[in-house]
């Protein structure tokens, strides 16, 4: 090692020179940056950037249509359980499961032979009662003139009259029994009580059906079809307050225009109406139940489908709203930029806001502003991507070019949009 140092005596001097060069490098860089920054400061921009070109919109009170949207489930306007009305063995199923049937169409047949035998026995009892009545009537007719001439005792005449009455009552009883058995015989042929879509058969051929207990199938009337949906109690209270404050107008007697959005996002072509609004809160779910009625002549909607119910007809009155792109998210919540003045120049000022519903107007989406803005505030709606709090701005029509490069605020999630949309009750 010592020999190496002796062999290269200039190496120590080179190391010292390099060390001093690295010590001077930061000073050189600072001088260079200062020289570069001086012209930018003389240009008058914010941190050397020119004023951002923006477009503003003065917010004014407006009236907006309100759309409420809920998840609902379809059900038949009539759901009928078809049960056996007599006890017997099921012989045949006469319909195609899941098909549409008309009222009065046969669905099942139950073994009718026991009931046919009972009907025949009842007919025989009726014939015997009628014969006894005829005999009693003849006896009464024979004794009546004799009783008038006092040729027979009064008791004998009264007994003949009573026997005729008993025979007449026996005939009526036999007729009633026959009618009952005829009815049971008719029940061995199970027919559809209403027109609608059938479900699967609950019992197959050869199974025993018990009177008034055995469920055979279910029929759902689907024209019109009903859609049941629920409104939370919290949403109802919030909207009731808005109605009381005059900020929300609702159709009278729930006269909304009801449309249905299917699971694939398409809209059902028919419109309907609200036909039921519960005034009680379900203690299990904490919601109000509501029901819409939709025409469904082509049976396109089936019972059990999950759909979205869209209600139109309400409006928000004298509210402030800004385009969705103008609302940004920050660590402290949502905010917008408004144009303010500083040292005689227009600057962007951050303004925290509380937003309400998401509304649509003129094909654009806007946030309803609950607090944070007042009428006349100039809100920056284009060019927000290049803004910084306190930075200079240039207000003009050429800001539309910046809108193409601006990063819009994130749209509300489906959950937040759904939670902000709610259906008030009358």
Give me the sign of the Cα torsion angle 127, 133, 137, 143: positive
Least-confidence region, from 157-161, 275-279, 371-375, 382-386: 382-386
pLDDT at position 7 over 80: no
3-state secondary structure of 360: strand
Coil, strand or helix at 390: coil
Determine the Cα–Cα distance for residues 219 and 422; give it in Å rounded to an integer. Answer: 33
What is the H or E stretch that residue 357 is in? strand 354-361
SS (H, E, C) 114-143: HHHHHHHHHHHHHHHHHHHHHHHHHHHHHH
Q: Are the beta carbons of 214 and 203 closer than 8 angstroms?
A: yes
What does the DSSP 8-state code read for residue 12? H
Token pair belonging to 32: 């260079």
CA distance between the termini of the chain: 99
Q: Provide Rg for the chain, Cα atoms.
A: 45
Question: Which positions ≥6 away from 201 have C-beta within 8 Å?
Answer: 93, 97, 108, 216, 217
Mean pLDDT within 280-297: 95
Report how far residue 388's alpha carbon sits from residue 375's, in angstroms, rounded to the nearest whole number. 24
Rounded distance, CA 340 to CA 337, Å?
Answer: 9
The domains located in the chain, with CATH, are 54-72+223-420 (2.40.30.170), 113-185 (1.10.287.470)
pLDDT in tens, 132-142: 999 999 999 99
Q: How confident is the model at residue 358 (pLDDT cuts 50, 70, 90)?
A: confident
pLDDT-derived band at 40, boundaries 50, 70, 90 = very low
Mean pLDDT over 225-238 rounds to 94
**DSSP letter for each residue of 287-342:** EEEEEEEE--TT--S-TT-EEEEEEEEEEEEEEEEEEGGG-EEETTEEEEEEEEEE
Query: Across the strands, what pairs with 198?
Result: 219
**Whose CA is closest to 356, among 242, 251, 256?**
242
Residue 107 CA to residue 161 CA, distance in Å, equals: 51
Joined tokens for residue 209: 């059906």
Q: How far apart are CA 350 and CA 133, in angstroms?
A: 105
Q: Is 100 left (phi over 0), alpha (psi -120 to 50) or beta?
A: beta
The residue with greater pLDDT, 339 or 13, is 339
Contact between 380 and 338 under an 8 Å Cβ cutoff? The reply is yes
What average pLDDT does range 244-259 have in this prediction? Answer: 92
Check whether 404 has a pLDDT greater than 50. Answer: no
CA–CA separation, 294 vs 401, rounded Å? 47
Residue 109: pLDDT over 70:
yes
∠ at Cα 410 (386, 332), nearest 5°? 75
List all residues 6 or more positions away from 391 whose beta carbon is below 8 Å from its beta carbon: 46, 49, 51, 52, 347, 348
pLDDT band at 48 (very low <50, low <70, confident <90, very high): low
If you average pLDDT over every residue of the chain, what do you get? Answer: 83
pLDDT attached to residue 234: 92
CA distance 106 to 187: 11
Q: Does residue 9 surpass a pLDDT of 50? A: no
Query: How many residues in total does the chain contain?
Result: 426
Q: What is the mean pLDDT of residues 401-422?
A: 38
Looking at residue 367, what is its pLDDT? 87
Cis omega (within 30 of 0) for bond into 242: no
Q: Which two tokens stand for residue 170?
A: 């026996």
Would you call 240 exposed, middle or buried from its count of C-beta atoms within 10 A (0-12, 13-18, 19+)? middle
Position 87 scores a pLDDT of 97
The answer to whether residue 308 scores a pLDDT higher than 50 is yes
């Amino acid at each position: 090692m010592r020999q190496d140092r002796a062999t290269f005596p200039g190496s120590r001097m080179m190391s010292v020179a390099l060390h001093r060069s690295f010590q001077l490098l930061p000073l050189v860089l600072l001088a260079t940056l200062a020289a570069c920054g001086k012209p930018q400061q003389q240009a008058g921009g914010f941190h050397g950037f020119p004023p951002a070109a923006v477009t503003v919109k003065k917010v004014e009170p407006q009236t907006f249509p309100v759309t409420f949207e809920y998840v609902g489930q379809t059900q038949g306007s009539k759901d009928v359980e078809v049960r056996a009305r007599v006890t017997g063995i099921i012989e045949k199923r006469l319909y195609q499961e899941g098909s549409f049937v008309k009222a009065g169409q046969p669905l099942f047949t139950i073994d009718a032979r026991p009931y046919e035998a009972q009907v025949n026995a009842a007919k025989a009892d009726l014939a015997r009662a009628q014969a006894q009545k005829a005999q009693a009537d003849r006896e009464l007719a024979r004794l009546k003139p004799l009783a008038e001439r006092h040729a027979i005792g009064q008791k004998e005449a009264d007994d003949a009259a009573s026997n005729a009455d008993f025979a007449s009552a026996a005939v009526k009883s036999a007729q009633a029994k026959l009618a009952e058995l005829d009815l049971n015989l008719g029940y061995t042929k199970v027919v559809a009580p209403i027109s609608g879509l059938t479900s699967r058969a609950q019992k197959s051929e050869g199974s025993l059906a018990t009177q008034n207990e055995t469920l055979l199938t279910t029929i759902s009337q689907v024209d019109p079809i009903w859609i049941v949906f629920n409104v939370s109690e919290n949403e109802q209270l919030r909207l009731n307050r808005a109605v009381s404050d005059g900020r929300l107008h609702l159709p009278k007697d729930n006269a909304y225009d009801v449309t249905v959005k299917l699971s694939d996002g398409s809209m059902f072509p028919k419109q309907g109406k609200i036909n039921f609004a519960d005034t009680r809160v379900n203690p299990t779910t904490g919601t109000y139940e509501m029901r819409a009625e939709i025409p469904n002549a082509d049976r396109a909607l089936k019972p059990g489908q999950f759909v979205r119910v869209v209600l139109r007809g309400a409006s928000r009155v004298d509210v402030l709203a800004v385009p969705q792109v103008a609302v940004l998210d920050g660590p402290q919540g949502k905010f917008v930029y408004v144009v303010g003045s500083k040292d005689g120049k227009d600057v962007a000022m951050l303004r925290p806001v509380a937003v309400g519903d998401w509304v649509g107007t003129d094909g654009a989406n806007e946030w309803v502003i609950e607090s944070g803005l007042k009428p006349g505030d100039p809100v920056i709606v284009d060019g927000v991507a290049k803004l910084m709090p306190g930075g200079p701005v240039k207000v003009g029509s050429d800001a539309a070019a910046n809108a193409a490069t601006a990063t819009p605020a994130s749209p509300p999630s489906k959950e937040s949009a759904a939670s902000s949309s709610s259906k008030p009750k009358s």
